Amino acid sequence: MMTELPKKISNYLNRYSSEKYTVSELSKKLYAVVVVIPTLDEFENLKRLLSSFEKNNSDALSKTLLLFVVNNLKSASSEVKEENLRSLKFLRSIDSNKINIGVVDCSTGGNGFDEKDGGVGLARKIGMDLALSLFDYNSTKKNILVCLDADCTVTENYLSEIIFSFNEKNLDAAVVEYEHPLSDFDKNLPAIICYEIFLRYYLLGLKFANSPFAFHTIGSTIVCTAESYVKTEGMNKRKAAEDFYFLEKLSKNFLIEKINSAKVYPSSRGSWRVPFGTGQRVNRFNLKTEDEYLLYNPESFELLRRWNNFYFNSDFSSNDFSEIKNNFPNEFINFLDEQNFFNVILSLKKNSKSSQQFFQQKIKWFDAFKTLKLVHYLRDNGFPNLNMFDAVDDMLKKIGYELEEFQREKREIIPSIEIQKKYLQILRIVSI
């Protein structure tokens, strides 16, 4: 079933989408929610994912399409292609009376991706673009696009909370809370605890620094409306970090909210699927090629906090330039010089017609990527990484968190796995 698309949607599709792929849709209707799920060599995980969805509210499920983008490179091994074929057959066999399944075949019969662009970004983009034609635009409710991964599971209230949050709170974009499952029988347990501490510490640092980009950037947690998606000009084709750059683009036009009442449980496995991210960090941890128990220096976030409070509240008169040079260390000034900041900010101010426009231009210039570049620059120039657990203790003190007994005691540089779990649980609470 099709409906006449709003002009902004059709204009986006005409300009940015490909006509090569189509949806094999088993239940012919329009939806309020489309969950786009890139699927690459995931046959064994599909039943777990679907089982978690089947526990969701039946009314929410009836309004939702799970859109699987089964994909691989044309150059992929025969084993990967065979697994994808099994996934396609399995998904097409599911009873559409229980759950709405759509399939995009980016695997068989020459549909595989070229080496240049093929990857998770392209798979997400194809699915999200195709989803735009599957919404009920005659409805007064939000048309909600959800990103997920095939190796995840979700909570029983996942769909209902997303629908409620977007419609009742009038959201345009959000991320859903996440937790990596922590099983004592998982060989990757130390690796995933270490990685999630890293992720949550960085988020906590951004929150402490009053950054407008203080949200986690995990692809399987992203949600936006069809309208915000097209205004942002859609998903990118990156093989990795597609989530970071997509959320950064969204955040320059919309507030990225947080849905804490539902959760996504990403896999803790190692993976060859992307060049960096969770899977590669787990692989790297297990190979012991680097010291993983290091975090950015808390003083970097102290500087970032001072900078954000100054930068976003200043009108940048001539006196402000002197204040910057008198109140920030040389390392910070050197970074601004490298970014041509002093010329850029004058140009932004000159070309802004109002203080509000100037403020928006400042956000667009000092964005999530430039924030990360600053933290990395400080790491390499005078503010080196610290032991993970010392850095967490210091950051918790900065936000006024009273350290627990195990943190006040003298402990090992790398504490026991049980102590590491306690650190992670604290960060899960304070980084919400």
Domain boundaries, the chain: 7-192+212-288, 298-380, 385-430
Sign of the CA dihedral running 249, 251, 253, 256: positive
Instruction: Return the pLDDT at 270.
Output: 47
> Which residue, 26, 20, 42, is CA-closest to 111?
20
- Which residue would you say has higher pLDDT here, 431 or 45? 45
- For residue 1, pLDDT over 60 is answered with no
pLDDT tens-digit readout, 322-347: 889 899 999 999 999 999 999 999 99
Question: How many angstroms separate the CA atoms of 385 and 265, rounded?
Answer: 29
Average pLDDT, the chain: 92
Residue type, 26: L
Instruction: Return the pLDDT at 279.
Output: 60
pTM: 0.93
- For residue 271, pLDDT over 50 is answered with no
> Which residue, 381, 403, 383, 382, is CA-closest to 392?
403
For residues 106 and 22, is the Cβ–Cβ distance under 8 A?
no
Q: Which residues pair with 70 in a beta bridge?
A: 39, 105
Q: What backbone phi and psi angles, to 5 degrees, belong to 145?
A: -100, 125
Q: 173: part of which helix (H) or strand (E)?
A: strand 173-178
The number of residues making up the chain comes to 432
Structural fold of domain 7-192+212-288: Spore Coat Polysaccharide Biosynthesis Protein SpsA; Chain A (3.90.550)
- For residue 267, pLDDT over 50 is answered with yes
Task: Count the neighbouring beta carbons within 10 Å of the beta carbon of residue 290.
Answer: 10
For residues 315 and 340, is the Cβ–Cβ distance under 8 A?
no
For residues 121 and 114, is the Cβ–Cβ distance under 8 A?
no
Q: What backbone phi and psi angles, to 5 degrees, belong to 360?
A: -65, -40
pLDDT tens-digit readout, 90-147: 999 998 778 999 999 999 999 999 999 999 999 999 999 999 999 999 999 999 999 9
3-state secondary structure of 256: strand
pLDDT tens-digit readout, 348-393: 999 999 999 999 999 999 999 999 999 999 999 999 999 999 999 9
For residues 262 and 157, is the Cβ–Cβ distance under 8 A?
yes
Question: How many angstroms separate the CA atoms of 256 and 320, rounded?
Answer: 30
Q: 69: part of which helix (H) or strand (E)?
A: strand 64-71
For residues 301 and 386, is the Cβ–Cβ distance under 8 A?
no
Instruction: Return the pLDDT at 268.
Output: 72
Instruction: Return the pLDDT at 65.
Output: 96
Question: How many angstroms separate the CA atoms of 209 and 213, rounded?
Answer: 10
Instruction: Tell me the two tokens of residue 225.
Output: 């409306």
Q: Distance from first CA to last CA of the chain, Å, rounded?
A: 40
